[in-house]
Amino acid sequence: MLVANKRNLKTYAEELLSKEYTPEKERLLIDLCTKKSIDDYNKGHHISFAIRDYLEDIDKVLHTFGVESLYPEFDLEYCNTGDIYNMTIFYYKGKLRIGDIGSILEK
């Protein structure tokens, strides 16, 4: 599990975007994950709404299968790739992260 910073996003962009990869999509993903934050989406509602809105925008770039939640057991929301062991982007323990959900569930 890695923090979704510019270096890590650049390293894993091809895996995250899979068949949708283009240099333009890589830049869009990096900008979305590093230049925006949950605060940009928080419109005075509960933080969970801002997290979901943020991940839904990321989901549109990744072309995953929507945003799923493992709340309250793990307090985790993620872009669903269809396989819990595929690399994805998720919000966990107060940070946007990169990794696979399966590894978290196994711990």
Confidence of residue 24 (pLDDT cuts 50, 70, 90): very high
Q: Which two tokens stand for residue 25?
A: 């999509």
pLDDT at residue 86, as a whole number: 96
State the Cα–Cα distance between residues 39 and 54, nearest whole angstrom.
10
Tens digit of each residue's pLDDT (9 = 90 or more) over 31-85? 999 999 888 998 888 888 999 999 999 999 999 999 999 877 888 999 999 999 9
Nearest Cα neighbor of 51 from 65, 26, 68, 27 is: 68
